[in-house]
Structure 1
Amino acid sequence: MPELPSYDGKTMRAVFWKGHPYSVSVQSVPQPTILHEEDAIVIITASAICGSDLHIYRGLLGSEQPPWSLGHEAIGVVTAVGEATENVKVGDRVLVPDIPDDGYINMGVPAFEDSRLFGVGRDFGGLGGLQAQYARVPFADNTLLKLPYYEDKDKDLDYLFIGDIWSTGWICLDQSGFQPGETVAVFGAGPVGLLCAYSALLRGASKVYIVDYVQQRLDKAREIGAIPINFAKGNAATQIMQLEPQGVARSCDCCGYECVNEELQPQQNAIINDMVRVTALNGGIGVVGVYSGQAPAPGRPLAGTIPPTLEFPIAEAWLKNLSIGMGLANPKPLAPRLMALVETGRAKPRFVVSKVIGIEEAEEAYRAFERKEEIKVVIRFAE
């Protein structure tokens, strides 16, 4: 059994969003406690800053009323459980996925704000964030994923990304209809895009093109065997089709509604247009990049600057018989397979990590991530 970290038992440090764009703070707040008999309290040992956090950081996404603590991917150790929690025990090392169980079988299509998510505020379940020393996890038996014992602490970083970004990249491939041997174009070489490309190669893609304009990201893509495409040097679809005249079988949007065109100017449908153009006849498109239609509010003051609709080249997509899959990715059903790939050493998604910090460095890390100076920042806690 791993040794439990010890804190003062009263307060903890956590990263907070207060509704001011491009600003977060690290502050002391009360530690969470068991509220329901199916809860667990987890001491976080590693968390991370995600591209989705930047949508909040920029004032575009989140609950109506700030403040709230940030973060939605973490691993840790269970330190307390409610009376009805049976499978998860104190001392278990666990993965905390970004979407916890809500205790219901959901048959309908929920509104975005009805989703229960860590680190997005009270309108999304009010669960608190995982960029913190402790977290309360609801319905712990059905939410937490037990990790096997391992001595190599670097393996933390492989398991960590199963809770969000690696699962999200993998699911984007599924949305596109990917099959082994096919060609793939991934738009966006942030952490999700890099792990989407990595997953495509792991799953037997013949070629993977990855589109971005940040050289550090493109260099990392080349290191894993993907073919980098710098769209600032010319339209991405045009560049890819010079190499693949018939187009690629599958395209994946791992960026979303904050995308820019080749002049690096905001254009909400830039990636959608390129994907429809570059995807071959009878091909498929996957979209895991965020497209949110929230109205402005104090917790998301700039949400109204990006409209909830966009122009879509439907005639071309229809004529090419393209299929499109999209939506919020849920890691839990996929997690056992990805955990097996890590446990056996077949996959090491930690390659996306560019910096490991302590929580007190989080404010500067957010600024560096926003400036695209870091690919993926992990927050480690003492243990």
Structure 2
Amino acid sequence: MTVEKQDTMRAVVWEGKPFHMTVKDVPRPRLVEKEDVIVRITTSAICGSDLHIYHGILGSNKPGWIMGHEAVGIVVEKGKDVKHLKIGDRVIVPDSPDDGVLNIEPRVPPFIFYGAGDDFGHDGGCQAEFVRVPEADNSCIPIPEGQSSDIDFLFLSDIFATGWTGLDFSGFQPGDTVAVFGAGPMGLLCAYSALLRGASKVYSIDHVEARLEKAASIGAIPINFTNHPASEQISLLEPNGVIRSVDCCGYECINADLKPQHNFIIEEASKITAAGGGFGIPGVYMAQASTQGAPLAGKVNPDITFPISAFWTKGIRIQGGAVDPKMVAPMLVELVKSGRAKPGFIVSAEVGIEEAPRMYEKFDKHLETKVIIRFPWEEEELKLGPAKTK
């Protein structure tokens, strides 16, 4: 497969203006190290954590970076020291590529991410035609041969892996009852993961009816917290509480009046999580000072009121943090390959890259559940093989 070498590519770019994204020509990435590959992206996506940047509260000091950290694509260039990938391979690009540094504490989560600017690494973003992947043998997640669909594999790059791991954070075991706060893309996939893994009941908590309908469609029990406090609704159904609860919203959560309240979910979780249960926090809590790249970050208080007495008295375990998709990828690849897992059910819109700014606005207003970005040359690849896409 040959790929015409162009100097520029189209990409979604954050310029430091809250509630504004742009699509522009930027330099195409090149191989830098001998372990790099260049991936031609077939499908990317807009993630809920991208909205933290869109809102101006998260990101690097200096704006002007390419957005996005979810992608699948085709290897079109490789460095001479790449051993396990070849030109034409279809791969998942994880949101946190390997940095090539010996990690003496594997449990410490990575803080190298695509799509958040130079302070989070120097690898660009995935809402673009091409992306450079460093340490490719340890970063790229191969898509098995014979698999024609991008969509289900796409979410292994972040939100399927993150929702799955959020359950692990809570200490989940088959048969547990689970409450998932948030029915956005990651929250839906957390609820979906709980059902796949044998939860006896899963409660999906949100205020957007379209999301709650989607949750109900997979077998979760929808809870609209604006009708009545979620903790009270669930307590009527589970008098002893749910065994596990998971925060899939993070620090931009809102209360029943739809006003920002950074500790709202933690307060609710303290009420509904059973004694001896667990609370997982895969949602982002990463307050920072205001910068050019995150001009409104200072409005987020880095400190929140925490109901320690409730957690201590009940003996509730708590774990959270960033998730490395590569840690659970082998398991999830097999689930998707076998057809057991089909996380693509969350997609509500497929667009070209030029429509991305408009879709950021719609996604932010909860008018879309999950937006994926396709690229116009994709259909041509079907004729070239062996790198098939759909």
Category of TM-score, reference length = shorter chain: over 0.9
Secondary structure of 1:123's counterpart equals coil
The answer on 1:157 being equivalent to 2:151 is: yes
1:11-160 correspondence to structure 2 within 5 Å? 11-107=8-104, 115-150=111-146, 152=148, 155-160=149-154
Q: Could you tell me how far apart the structure 1 residues matched to 2:50 and 2:169 are? A: 23
Match of 1:212 in 2: 206
Q: Count residues with an aligned counterpart.
A: 377
Q: 1:198 aligns with which of 181, 192, 204?
A: 192
TM-superposed CA distance for 1:10, in Å, is: 2.0
Letter in 2 for 1:9: Q
Q: Percent same amino acid among aligned pairs?
A: 54
TM-score normalised over the length of structure 1: 0.96
Within the alignment, does 1:309 sit opposite 2:306 as a pair? no
**Residue aligning to 1:223:** 217
Q: Is the 8 A contact 2:41 2:72 kept in 1?
A: yes
1:283 corresponds to 2:259: no
CA distance in 1, matches of 2:355, 2:4: 19
Q: Structure 1's 191 and 7: CA in aligned 2 closer, same or farther, altered over 3 A?
A: farther
Q: Which consecutive aligned stretches of 4+ in structure 1 deviate over 3 angstroms post-superposition?
A: 107-112
Unaligned 5+ segments in structure 2 are 379-390
- Opposite residue 45 of structure 1, the aligned amino acid is T
Residue aligning to 1:349: 343
Can you list the C-alpha shifts for 1:331-364, whole angstroms capped at 9, x where unaligned? 1010010000010010100000000001011010
- 1:364 is paired with a residue whose SS is helix
Question: Matched residues in 2 for 1:69 and 1:116: separation?
Answer: 15
Cα gap change, 1:109 to 1:312, in 2 (>3 Å) = farther
Q: Which amino acid aligns with 2:212?
A: L
Q: Measure the CA separation in 1 of the matches of 2:231 and 2:146.
A: 44
Alignment TM-score, normalising by the size of structure 2: 0.94
Residue equivalent to 1:242:
236
Q: How far did 1:82 drift?
A: 0.8
The equivalent position to 1:367 in structure 2, one of 361, 365, 375, is 361
Unaligned runs of 5+ in 1: none
Whether contact under 8 Å (1:177, 1:250) holds in the other structure is yes
Which residue of structure 1 lines up, in the alignment, with residue 386 of structure 2?
Answer: none
Contact 2:147/2:337 (CA < 8 Å) preserved in 1? no
Match of 1:158, SS state, is helix
- Tell me if the contact between 1:120 and 1:126 (Cα under 8 Å) persists in the aligned partners: no
* Mapped partners of 2:51, 2:23: distance in 1: 16
The alpha carbon displacement at 1:293 in A equals 2.1
| Residues 185/117 of structure 1: CA separation in 2 closer, same or farther (3 Å cut) | same
Deviations 1:218-257 (A, max 9, x none): 0000000000000011111111111111100000000000
Conserved 8 A contact 1:182-1:205: yes
